[in-house]
Chain A
Amino acid sequence: MRKLGGAAIAVRLGKVDVNRRWGKSCRGVRTLSAFLLLAFVLFPAAAHAYAGPGAGFAVLSSFWAIFVAFLYSFYALATWPVRQLFRFFRRRNAYGKAVFNRAVILGFDGMDPELADRFMKEGRLPNLAKLRDKGTFAKLRTTFPAISPVAWSTFMTGVNPGKHNIYDFLARDTQNYLPFLSSAEIKGPKRTINIGKYSIPFGKTEIKAMRKGTPFWHWLGKAGIFSSVIRVPVTFPPEKFQGVLLSGMCVPDLKGSQGTFCLCTTRMAGDKFREGGVRVPVERKNGAFHSYVPGPDNPIAKEAGHEMRVDYEIRPEPALNQAKLVVGKEKLTLKVGEYSEWIPIEFKAGLGFNAHGICRFYLKEISPEVEVYVTPVNIDPGHPDLPISHPVTYSIYLAKLYGAFATLGLAEDTWALNEHVLDDDAFLAQAYGNHHDREQMLFDALEKTQQGLCTCVFDTTDRIQHMFWRYLDDDHPAAREVPKAERKEVIQDLYQRMDKLIGRVMEKIDDDTLLMVISDHGFKSFQRCMNLNAWLHQNGYLTLKDGKTESGDWFEDVDWSKTRAYTMGLNGLYLNLKGREKHGIVDPADAQALQDEIKQKLDGLVDPNSGKVGISGVFATNVVYRGPYAENAPDLLVGYAGGYRASWDSVMGKVTGQIFEDNMKAWSGDHCIDPRLVPGVLFSSHKFVEEKHAIVDVAPTILKLFGLALPSYFDGKAWTLAPKVSAVQAPAVTPAT
């Protein structure tokens, strides 16, 4: 049972009591059993020593486990000197010039320096305050734009986005103006064999990493320094290096999406979800309710769009305020408002082809209607159908050690809370359940990685701030109807939890370990949405088809032959450039002028309703980016002012009539704004002399502290330890060339 909140814990305690009672009543049986077993020992006739296949398996498996472990250990021990010698000659002494034996980097996605400072001053974060007093506490300059996949890519590669090619979650296809996932491209096998109604793929699924650049742990690995890397964003597909890695943000669910939840309900009159979820009917048959978990399309069906499903049954027990669920071989009993553990489910495609996933069920209601929320179907870490770790066995190892865990990149279901499918408590239970699993992985990695790099990114900080900022503001549109007395101090509690985590990590490390706590960006309130496509439309840069006043998703009603600029994603604005976009009309010779013109008009744009500035800066990417992939970037980056962000519609390429509107969603805090307003945070156990720090500097700093030369293409600058430590221990580092 994973930590799923009060009800689950109560169930767990109940189980312990039952075991105790059972233990008492079993004593007589045990005495008799011991007697019988003694008889066996006293009369060990060969024919009678075998007590069936169950016992046989138990004994054989045990001996097998010991035997294999012994062989592995013997091999490791026997070959260790040879491998050390080999490494000595190949890499010399890996740690010879290292200032620290180990570096531990904890990524708290979205931790805000102003909030951290405020809570520290209030005495709520004693462990972070210790780091501040002993080492460094500073703002950490983020990337343009201040979006997690962009910033974490810069963190790991030490370069600006022009060199790592990640500019947003989404990129646009210049041939059809449709979005695609910017971090990875998954293609099925090219060849198929047709047998009857099946089209069997022949060959391997190709997963291509779109993020360029080399993560700094590859450089460490080449020098013989081991790394444990857990859930750093944009590490899917995992790449080979000396160490272990579990992929993070951008890992898809089993459907291939970034997370599609499912609401199984007897209420079929609800609205279609805007994004991120589907509604599935629950039907009553023979006294029980039946529904299904939708899966991916059948990969071997000749006809496209043939969705695979796993049926399950719900048997409500209203008197007990619970229901029994039967999902395949699993039988669960859930109270209303309780999550299941991760349940393995198998989608059968036919001919022995199966897709393995895991999901959790949350019983929302059993009377008068029946509603069950099902998380997106995550890739099963114990049986991964796609590689989500390096080596592949690492995710299997973690799953065997701690049980199944969320593998989806964006594992906390923010859309379900936005759509009121989950309430605040259910969302928090889910988020902290994932967080608990992540903590277990971190502490395991800390134990295993006594030398080298250990880095782990926690998403909880980002997701909870996104969803609960509304309670932090006095007048957030999304929380106006919630009385102040009912507003929970969710974000303060979050920061305190993270502080306690730091405290536990500090107990596990010594002074020969550098501890850094960083965030990729900070946070601001998100009260007002701006539909930039609407602004482009109203200012004559984007034209709709004749008779249209608005456009559906992904520029459905846009007349490209008359459109000069468009936007999709969170901050990027694109010119409809001739020779680049399929229906481009802007002559490259005129592009700069058009870019300047739009920039000038948008910069400082005022929201007529509030009188506040909605956009505090617009940045030309040919100025802020340099590198071989800069041409894939948007032409302009729009920096929204505090309180503002791109509207939900604008992100999806929709053109509405209104430019500014209130943000009424639970997603009420954000960072996809002017990057100057949302720096991240840097805490470290040892003091650095620099006053200004940027996320791009982390990679060179770590390489420097391990005594390695810095690659010449790095954009970041390595920080220097304050004299107390550096004068004694810091080695001469080959300067970047």
Chain B
Amino acid sequence: MATAIPAASLAAIGLSWLVSPLSIVIILSVVIGLGMIVLFGYTSDQKAIGVAKDQLKAHLLAVRLYRDQLHVVMGSYGKVLRGTGRYLKLAFKPLLYVIIPITLLIVQLDRYLGLTGIPTNTPFLLTARVNPDALDGVSIDLPEGLTASAPPVHVAADNEVVWRLVANREGAYDVKVSTGGQSAVKTVRVTSQLVGLSPERLRGHFWERLFSSGESALPADSKVESIAVDYPERNIPLGVAGYEMNWIWLFFILSMIAGFIFKELLGIEV
């Protein structure tokens, strides 16, 4: 029993670490780094990329070898620029294959890792944008646990109404915004857990919805154009001297490192 307790504690600590944002980003970076490198390897002209990179290196070396000969130096610089264009062109095709899955993946991940839920007892803003003719009649229905801490502000120039709200306990709240006999619902997550968040619910705007909304579209004839909640941005503590970082930068760095290691191990030219 005496040893079981520390073991259970360790397991709990390990599990909590595994589900922490930092560990999730690390694991995702390694897995995605590997996946993307393999995909890049399969979809690119490896030989041509190798040649293009070699040519770039050659022109760089030429600048050093013939540094006293200005015509060579300048000519090589021009060749480096042209070679870079050629290299980017070759990287373009695999980029096209990679771009759709990785974009969708990152959008989804950003909902979990890019923002934090609203903390309890902390005011936050909810903004509704409506049709110009519906601005005057906008009202809000707040579920139990959610209260307005200030009167709404009408921003006529933007056709917006802004409420300052506060929650006294955690939960998923459906806020109803009504105007001109129509209503629209927006979910507000008040939580300290890692959950998927949708900062905005939109009418139409397919591309914008794809990238920034996790909820269904508002009806096309709705007088409410959008309802947005300003969730705080999440910074992931690195555990080193109090440094924090946005997950996308951390993902960028870690997936690059993972990609570099895997490209060497797998012999893939990037």
Contact = CB atoms under 8 A, between A and B. Distances in A.
Contacts of B74: 73
Interface string A488-520: 000000000000000000000000000000000
Interface string B26-65: 0000001100110110001000000101111111111111
A217 to B, nearest CB: 15
Interface stretch (A76-84, A290-298, A366-374, A544-552): A76-84
Contacts of B103: 40, 48, 51
B56 to A, nearest CB: 5
Given A52-B98, A58-B270, A450 B69 contact: yes
B91 A43 contact: no
Contacts of A80: 68, 70
Contact of B256 (A36, A56, A73): A56
B73 A400 contact: no
Interface in B62-118: 62-74, 76-77, 80-81, 83-84, 87-88, 91, 94-96, 98-100, 102-103, 106-107, 110, 114
A85 interface: no
B95 A58 contact: yes
A400 B259 contact: no
A76 B66 CA distance: 9
Contacts of B88: 58-59, 62
A401 B56 CA distance: 8
Interface stretch (B124-132, B164-172, B178-186, B205-213): B205-213
B80 to A, nearest CB: 4
Contacts, number: 174
B87 A62 contact: yes
Interface stretch (A391-399, A462-470, A638-646): A391-399
B212 A56 contact: no
B173 interface: no
A62 B68 CA distance: 25
B207 A43 contact: yes
B215 to A, nearest CB: 17
A47 B106 contact: yes
Contact of B211 (A48, A400, A403): A48
B176 interface: no
A518 B98 CA distance: 57
A155 interface: no
Contact of B65 (A51, A61, A391, A450): A391
A53 B258 contact: yes
Contacts of A62: 84, 87-88
Given A37-B99, A61-B53, A244-B65, A56 B255 contact: yes
A69 B60 contact: yes
Interface residues of A, number: 54
B267 interface: yes
Interface string A13-49: 0000000000000000100010011011011011110
Contact of B37 (A53, A69, A449): A53
B148 interface: no
Given A52-B259, A391-B65, A36 B100 contact: yes
B263 interface: yes
A53 B255 contact: yes
Interface string A46-72: 111011111111111110011011101
A719 interface: no
Nearest to A52: B36
Contacts of A451: 69
Contacts of B87: 58, 61-62, 65
A41 to B, nearest CB: 12
Nearest to B212: A45
Contact of A54 (B39, B62, B107): B39
B140 interface: no
A57 B259 contact: yes
Contacts of A51: 95, 98-99, 102-103
Interface in B229-270: 248, 251-252, 255-256, 258-260, 263, 267, 270
A214 to B, nearest CB: 22
A222 to B, nearest CB: 15
A450 B71 contact: yes
B44 to A, nearest CB: 8
Contact of B61 (A73, A329, A397, A449): A397
A187 interface: no
A448 interface: yes
A497 to B, nearest CB: 27
A442 to B, nearest CB: 16
Contacts of B207: 39, 42-43
A226 B68 CA distance: 9
A112 B61 CA distance: 38
B125 to A, nearest CB: 20
A66 B86 CA distance: 13
Contacts of B110: 47-48
B58 to A, nearest CB: 4
B206 to A, nearest CB: 10
Nearest to A71: B63
A73 B79 CA distance: 12
A33 B91 CA distance: 13
A448 B60 contact: no
Contacts of A52: 32-33, 36, 39-40, 98, 102, 255, 259
Interface in B209-223: 211-212
Contacts of B84: 62, 65-66
B61 to A, nearest CB: 4
Nearest to B79: A69
A449 B66 CA distance: 9
Interface string A305-319: 000000000000000
Given A52-B40, A66-B80, A76-B67, A43 B208 contact: yes
Contact of B59 (A43, A69, A70, A226): A69
Q: Determine which residue in A46, A68, A448 has the highest number of CB atoms from chain B within 10 A of its CB, and name it.
A: A448
Given A54-B40, A54-B270, A47 B248 contact: yes
Interface in A77-103: 77, 80, 83
Contacts of B99: 33, 36-37, 40, 51, 55
Interface in B129-154: none
Interface in B184-211: 207-208, 211
Contacts of B94: 54-55
A4 B74 CA distance: 34
Nearest to B77: A73
B73 A73 contact: yes
Contact of B66 (A39, A48, A54, A448): A448
B248 A46 contact: yes
Given A47-B106, A48-B107, A65-B60, A329 B252 contact: no
A393 B65 contact: yes
A50 B248 contact: yes
B185 to A, nearest CB: 25
A57 B260 contact: yes
Contacts of A48: 103, 106-107, 110, 211
A345 to B, nearest CB: 14
Nearest to A58: B91
A710 B106 CA distance: 72
B58 A72 contact: no
Contacts of A403: 51, 54
Contact of B60 (A29, A72, A391, A394): A72
B233 to A, nearest CB: 11
Contacts of A448: 62, 65-66, 69, 72
Given A52-B40, A55-B95, A448-B62, 4 more contacts: A52-B259, A62-B87, A76-B63, A394-B65
24 contacts: A33-B99, A36-B96, A36-B99, A47-B106, A47-B107, A48-B103, A50-B102, A52-B102, A53-B40, A53-B256, A54-B40, A54-B270, A59-B88, A60-B256, A61-B56, A65-B80, A69-B77, A69-B80, A72-B77, A329-B267, A391-B65, A393-B64, A397-B62, A403-B51
Give 3 closest A-B pairs by Cβ, nearest first.
A53-B259, A54-B40, A58-B91
